[in-house]
Amino acid sequence: MHAVNRCFAGGRWLTTTGAHTVLDSPLNGKPAFELREAGPGELDVALGGARAAAGAMASLTVTARESALRALASGLAKEGAAMAAAIVTENGCPSRQALALQIQSAIALLEAYATLVAQHAFEEVRDGMRGGRVLVQKLPVGTCLGIVPWNVPVFLACMKLAPAIAAGCPIVLKPSPENAPSADLFAELLAVLDLPPGAVSVLTGGRELGRALVDDPRVDKVSFTGSTAAGRHVGSACAARLCRFTLELGGKSAAILLDDFDLAGHLPDLLGAMLQNNGQVCGAQTRVLVPRERFVAWTRAIAEAFDALTIGDPRDAETDIGPVATAAQFARIRDALDAAGAAGARPLTRARAADALPQGGNYVAPSLLVDVTPGMAIAREEIFGPVIVALPYATEAEAVDLANDSPYGLSGSVWSTDIVRAEHVARGLRTGTVGVNSRKILDFGSPFGGMRASGMGRELGPEGIDAYLETKSVLLPTA
């Protein structure tokens, strides 16, 4: 059985001394690998090294920061297939999606930040409104912490790492235990970057390690991606010691299908928006809002498409839906479906007998539920699996109201043959990102983040770099 018992911290490889655990495979429920988490000693080395590297990182030229980002992108391009294969076995992502979703997206993100850092305005001189001039500087915030979830681990690690490097900040990454093998491969790429020793560390571990890092006064900024419940704790802990933080949390995003939508022509994209990575995507479109007059025909077509999907071993190129990542997540999904049925929701997809699914793993058949009311838990709570609810609407205004009637506000989409009309509807959605006729939930050059319970702050684009910078004004006399 594969064992991960090391970490890259403070510019060197260390043997880890933290909690020992054996993690089961989502594919068959059998032990997959064992992990020795990073312990207090490794945490101290990582944060001590980051603090020592802060001055050198801040002094790096923009060209050096750009070069480091492009070098990491090149390394991922060379080793990406092995990393994608590891992630498939870690979280059940179907192999036909894995390379693009897990690795190529990360490469594109790194290249985008390399371009952005070369264009970024780290200082400017303004005319003072009270006379004189003002020098506005944007300075590195200091030592950063990036807490990364298990669903898209390399991409989300890069979403935190890239702006930190661009801003001139050292950073400690904390991947989830479920991703220990791919995190170890990723750390090997980071270890050879031309950055000051201690600039980047990778400490894999669970909640106790995360809490210890968030609470440590040597951390100046936290970037957290994960559940809303966990994000509340991170935000509270950071606020208590006035540590800067960014939270990218859960979602219950709505896809609005307008009455002129070409369902047959865009069905593959719509399915991807709902079910990519087995529904384990924060911006998955898990509520589909359908015109009342089209509701029966369109939901039946979507349900038939769900039923045609192949559920199986994610390593098989024919598999559309693999297992969800953990047994605990599997149990939560089953409980949510049972509760929805008790509340009156009805699955439109055909029932698949338990013995028709692969045995031993965390396999959940994709479900489309109808007879759902907006107040049901299944329509309001994030499930994080292949479970979609369909709701009818009578007017565009009602569709927008239904979409906005959520504690979340991360993503959304509008589907129509009339782009002007779709844009008008999109403008009314209270969510961080809206796609039009697209499964995409973000653009590397534009801000990404959530409203309400979906988080605080923004990542990506120039705003993503600014999140790792402090702004300072120097008041100067007229020259």
Which ranges of 276-322 does DSSP label H, i.e. alpha helix? 295-307
Count each helix (H run) and each strand (E run) in the chain, helices first: 15, 21
Residues 393, 384: Cα–Cα separation, whole Å? 24
Question: Cβ atoms within 10 A of the Cβ of 21, count?
Answer: 14
Tokens of 125: 């001189």
Residues 441, 413: Cα–Cα separation, whole Å? 8
Helix axes 62-91, 153-167, angle to 10 degrees: 170
Question: Cβ atoms within 10 A of the Cβ of 352, count?
Answer: 15
Catalytic entry in 282, 381, 382, 459: 282
Residues 379, 388: Cα–Cα separation, whole Å? 9
Alpha carbon distances (Å) from 48 to 9, 45, 212, 216, 218: 9, 5, 14, 11, 8
- Beta-carbon contacts of 34 under 8 Å, excluding residues fewer than 6 positions away, are 1, 2, 3, 4, 5, 20, 21, 22, 23
Question: Cβ atoms within 10 A of the Cβ of 123, count?
Answer: 12
Active site residue 398: no
Tokens of 151: 């669903």
Question: Cβ atoms within 10 A of the Cβ of 397, count?
Answer: 11
Nearest to 466 by CA among 121, 226, 236: 121
Residues 289, 254: Cα–Cα separation, whole Å? 7
Question: Cβ atoms within 10 A of the Cβ of 257, count?
Answer: 25
CA-CA-CA-CA torsion sign (383, 388, 392, 395): positive
Nearest to 19 by CA among 216, 180, 206, 211: 206
**How many residues does this entry show for the chain?**
479
Asked if residue 159 lies in contact with residue 105, where contact means CB atoms within 8 angstroms, the answer is no
Catalytic entry in 248, 381, 382, 459: 248
Active site residue 248: yes
Residues 157, 183: Cα–Cα separation, whole Å? 9
3-state secondary structure of 315: coil
- 311: alpha, beta or left? (left if phi > 0; alpha if psi -120 to 50): beta
Amino acid at 139: L
Nearest to 285 by CA among 100, 455, 410, 99: 410
Residues known to be catalytic: 248, 282
